[in-house]
Amino acid sequence: MGCEETIVAETEMKQKVAKGLFWKLLENGGAQGIQFVIAIILARLLTPAEYGLVGIIMIFITIANVFVQSGFSTALVQKKEADAADFCSVCYFEMAVAVILYGGLYLAAPAIAAFYSIPGLEGIVRVLAVVLFPGAVISVQTAFVSRTMAFRGLFFSTLIASVVSGAVSIAMAYAGAGVWAMVAQQVSYSFCLMLVLFVTVSWKPRLMFAISRVNGMFAFGWKLLCASLLDTVFNNLYGLLIGKIYNEELLGSYNRGEQFPKLIATNLGAAIQAVLLPAFAEKQDDKAAVREMVRRAIRLSSFVTLPMLMGLFAVADTLVLALLGEKWLVCVPFLRIMCVSYCFWPIHITNLQAINAVGRSDIFLKLELVKKALSVAALVIGMQFNVLLMVCIKAFQDFLCTFINGYPNKKLLGYSVFHQWMDVMPSMALSVLMCTAVMIFGTWLPGLPVLLKLTLQIGWGAALYIGLAAVFSRESFCYLKGLTAGRFAQGRGKKFETKR
Region 302-315 average pLDDT: 89
Residue 33 pLDDT > 80: no
Q: What is the pLDDT of residue 215?
A: 79
Sign of the torsion formed by the C-alpha atoms of 427, 433, 434 and 436: positive
CA 435 to chain centre: 23
Confidence of residue 482 (pLDDT cuts 50, 70, 90): low
Which segment, 63-67, 80-84, 486-490, is predicted with the most confidence on average? Answer: 63-67
Residue 460 pLDDT > 90: yes
Q: What is the pLDDT of residue 131?
A: 93
Q: With contact defined as beta carbons under 8 Å apart, do 139 and 186 qualify?
A: no
The Cβ of residue 490 has, within 10 Å, a number of other Cβ atoms equal to 11
Buried b (16+ CB within 10 A) or exposed e, 179-198: bbbbbbbbbbbbbbbbebbe
Residue 478 pLDDT > 70: no
Span 372-418, pLDDT tens digits: 888 888 888 887 878 888 888 888 988 888 888 888 878 877 788 88
Distance CA 160, CA 34 (A): 10
Angle between helices 132-148 and 84-116 (to 10 degrees): 140
Q: What is the pLDDT of residue 150?
A: 67
Q: With contact defined as beta carbons under 8 Å apart, do 57 and 123 qualify?
A: no
Q: What is the pLDDT of residue 276?
A: 54
pLDDT-above-70 percentage for the chain: 78
Span 38-75, pLDDT tens digits: 878 887 787 777 777 777 788 888 888 887 776 677 77
Q: With contact defined as beta carbons under 8 Å apart, do 229 and 66 qualify?
A: yes
Residue 233 pLDDT > 80: no
Confidence of residue 31 (pLDDT cuts 50, 70, 90): low
**Rg from Cα positions in the chain:** 23
Q: What is the pLDDT of residue 191?
A: 95
Contacts of 21 (CB under 8 A, 6+ apart): 271, 275, 276
Confidence of residue 487 (pLDDT cuts 50, 70, 90): very low
Confidence of residue 269 (pLDDT cuts 50, 70, 90): low
Query: Taking the CA of residue 368 as centre, how many other CA atoms within 13 Å lie in the half-sphere pointing to its CB?
Result: 23
Region 421-427 average pLDDT: 85
Please spell the DSSP secondary structure of 148-168, one letter per residue: HT-HHHHHHHHHHHHHHHHHH
Q: With contact defined as beta carbons under 8 Å apart, do 23 and 31 qualify?
A: no
Region 458-469 average pLDDT: 90
Counting beta carbons within 10 angstroms of the beta carbon of residue 292, is it exposed (0 to 12), middle (13 to 18) or buried (19 or more)?
Answer: middle
Distance CA 119, CA 496 (A): 64
Confidence of residue 192 (pLDDT cuts 50, 70, 90): very high
The helices-and-strands tally (H runs, E runs) of the chain is 20, 0
Distance CA 375, CA 442 (A): 36
For residue 420, the surrounding DSSP H or E stretch is: helix 417-443
More confident residue, 325 or 442: 442
Please spell the DSSP secondary structure of 171-212, one letter per residue: HHHHTT-THHHHHHHHHHHHHHHHHHHHHHSS----S---HH
pLDDT-above-90 percentage for the chain: 17
CA 398 to chain centre: 16
Tell me the one-letter amino acid at 418. F
What is the end-to-end Cα distance of the chain in Å, rounded? 37
Contacts of 223 (CB under 8 A, 6+ apart): 71, 361, 362, 364, 365
Q: What is the pLDDT of residue 62?
A: 82
Confidence of residue 102 (pLDDT cuts 50, 70, 90): very high
Q: What is residue 245's DSSP assignment?
A: I
Q: How many residues does the chain have?
A: 500
Least confident of 96-105, 115-124, 287-296: 287-296
Prediction pTM value: 0.65
Which segment, 18-32, 39-53, 100-114, is predicted with the most confidence on average? Answer: 100-114
Q: What is residue 120's DSSP assignment?
A: T
Please spell the DSSP secondary structure of 451-496, one letter per residue: HHHHHHHHHHHHHHHHHHHHHTT-HHHHHHHHHHHHHHHHHHHHHH
Q: What is the pLDDT of residue 496?
A: 39
Residue 492 pLDDT > 80: no
3-state secondary structure of 270: helix
Q: What is the pLDDT of residue 51?
A: 74
Residue 21 pLDDT > 70: no
Contacts of 262 (CB under 8 A, 6+ apart): 338, 342
Span 310-356, pLDDT tens digits: 999 999 999 988 888 788 888 899 899 999 988 888 777 777 777 77
3-state secondary structure of 273: helix
More confident residue, 223 or 121: 121
Distance CA 160, CA 162 (A): 5
Sign of the torsion formed by the C-alpha atoms of 279, 285, 289 and 292: positive
Torsion angle in degrees (nearest 10) through CA of 422, 427, 433, 435: -130
Residue 366 pLDDT > 70: yes
Angle between helices 450-471 and 316-323 (to 10 degrees): 140
3-state secondary structure of 2: coil
Domain boundary assignment for the chain: 47-209
Mean pLDDT, the chain, whole residue set: 78
Q: What is the pLDDT of residue 270?
A: 57
More confident residue, 498 or 400: 400
